[in-house]
């Protein structure tokens, strides 16, 4: 029922039955982790923490090493979403050590992916490149998270104004991911298009993002922040202000304090009409890595899965 509800975009029903499933079969760590992820997406952080802790305990008890790593990664992502970056790093490193001990390439890839996203939040470009390079090699070609790794790497590039390098990765991303998992990726693409001065591509991506926001309120605030950033790059201050204010309203409504803080900081910059400082030049050292991402994205196709509720991960890029 949870998987059906997720595929039908009935988020409350998906969460309700995921938690029921985890209670009916309390010894299955995958069900606890699935309930935890949905609680995290719904900003029910205390409940998410309890389910991740339970998932880890059951996984350790049953010897399910893969789900143990998933619990650690999920808890780290929860800390990251709460803005507790030092704690997030500690949990990701725990997951990395466990994945290394078990020799599981997919778990190691997911761990590197999350460490890369955390490094992007901290603005550590060298660490972003290190983890991205490792993760793209470790992920199997058709792994469900591969496009999201490309998105998160592109997001890290955008934060350093490397719009030309990020743009082709995001263009491929919005082509391959399912429509109901486009956010916030299509808004990130709009930001990159604005950085390249492609107003018509920004306009089109903005339209697509706003249409999806109407049915995906959970991703509304970060998406609106990225649209505001794009409008700011274009110097369209009233447009940027509108998106920033809507991001604040959405974050308050969804109890997303971190995004509310980000949106308020962005709104202050917009009201002062502070322009973006352009990068001095392209980061030539990432050319081979971006090319590798492009090749793998062109060949990527999702594996067929039953339902859609808990099988996909969202693009995780967000403002620090």
Quick: pLDDT tens for 196-254. 999 999 999 999 999 999 888 889 999 999 999 999 999 999 999 999 999 999 999 98
Give the pLDDT confidence score for residue 121 in this predicted structure. 83
Would you say residue 49 lies in a domain? yes
Counted domains in the chain: 2
Question: Is residue 10 domain-shared with residue 140, that is, in the same domain?
Answer: yes
Quick: pLDDT tens for 72-83. 999 999 998 888
pTM score: 0.84
Give the pLDDT confidence score for residue 55 in this predicted structure. 93
- Tokens representing 25 are 């079969």
Would you say residue 295 lies in a domain? no
Question: Is residue 51 domain-shared with residue 154, that is, in the same domain?
Answer: yes
Would you say residue 319 lies in a domain? no
Give the pLDDT confidence score for residue 181 in this predicted structure. 87
Which residue segment(s) compose the domain that 271 sits in?
166-282
Q: Which of 160, 181, 208 is the last residue of a domain?
A: 160
Q: To the nearest whole number, what is the mean pLDDT of the chain?
A: 89
Question: Is residue 135 domain-shared with residue 247, that is, in the same domain?
Answer: no
Question: Is residue 59 domain-shared with residue 172, that is, in the same domain?
Answer: no
Would you say residue 316 lies in a domain? no
Q: Which of 132, 160, 188 is the last residue of a domain?
A: 160
Would you say residue 108 lies in a domain? yes
CATH number at residue 85: 1.25.40.10
Question: Is residue 8 domain-shared with residue 133, that is, in the same domain?
Answer: yes
Q: What is the 3-class SS of the chain, one letter each residue?
A: CHHHHHHCCCHHHHHHHHHHHHHHCCCCHHHHHHHHHHHHHCCCHHHHHHHHHHHHHHHHHHCCHHHHHHHHHHHHHHHHHCCCHHHHHHHHHHHHHHHHHHCCHHHHHHHHHHHHHHHHHHCCHHHHHHHHHHHHHHCCCCCCCHHHHHHHHHHHHHHCCCHHHHHHHHHHHHHHCCHHHCCCHHHHHHHHHHHCCCHHHHHHHHHHHHHHHCCCHHHHHHHHHHHHHHHHHHCCHHHHHHHHHHHHHHHHHCCCHHHHHHHHHHHHHHHCCCCCCCCCCCCHHHHHHHHHHHHHHHHCCCCCCCCCCCCCCCCCCCCC
Per the model's pLDDT, the better-predicted residue between 27 and 193 turns out to be 193
Question: Is residue 137 domain-shared with residue 263, that is, in the same domain?
Answer: no
Give the pLDDT confidence score for residue 310 in this predicted structure. 35
Per the model's pLDDT, the better-predicted residue between 301 and 298 turns out to be 298
């Amino acid at each position: 029922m949870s998987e059906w509800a997720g595929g039908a975009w009935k988020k409350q029903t998906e969460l309700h039955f995921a938690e029921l499933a985890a209670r009916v079969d309390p010894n299955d760590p995958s069900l606890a982790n699935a309930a935890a992820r949905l609680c995290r997406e719904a900003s029910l952080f205390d409940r998410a923490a309890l389910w991740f802790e339970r998932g880890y305990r059951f996984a350790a008890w049953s010897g399910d090493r893969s789900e143990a790593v998933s619990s650690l990664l999920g808890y780290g992502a929860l800390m990251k979403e709460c803005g507790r970056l030092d704690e997030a790093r500690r949990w990701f490193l725990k997951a990395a050590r466990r994945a290394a001990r078990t020799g599981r390439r997919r778990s190691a890839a997911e761990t590197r992916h999350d460490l890369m996203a955390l490094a992007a939040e901290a603005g550590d470009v060298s660490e972003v490149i290190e983890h991205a390079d490792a993760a793209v090699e470790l992920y199997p070609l058709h792994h469900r998270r591969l496009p999201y790794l490309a998105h998160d790497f592109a997001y890290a590039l955008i934060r350093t104004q490397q719009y030309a390098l990020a743009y082709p990765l995001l263009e491929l991303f919005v082509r391959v991911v399912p429509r109901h998992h486009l956010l916030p990726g299509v808004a990130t693409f709009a930001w990159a298009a604005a950085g390249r001065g492609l107003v018509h591509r920004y306009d089109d991506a903005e339209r697509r993002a706003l249409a999806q926001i109407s049915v995906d309120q959970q991703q509304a605030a970060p998406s609106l922040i990225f649209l505001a950033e794009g409008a700011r790059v274009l110097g369209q201050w009233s447009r940027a202000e509108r998106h920033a204010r809507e991001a604040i309203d959405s974050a308050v409504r969804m109890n997303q304090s971190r995004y509310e803080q980000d949106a308020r900081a962005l709104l202050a910059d917009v009201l002062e009409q502070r322009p973006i400082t352009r990068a001095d030049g392209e980061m030539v050292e990432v050319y081979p890595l971006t090319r590798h991402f492009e090749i793998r994205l062109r060949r990527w196709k999702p594996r067929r899965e039953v339902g859609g509720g808990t099988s996909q991960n969202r693009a995780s890029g967000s403002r620090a």
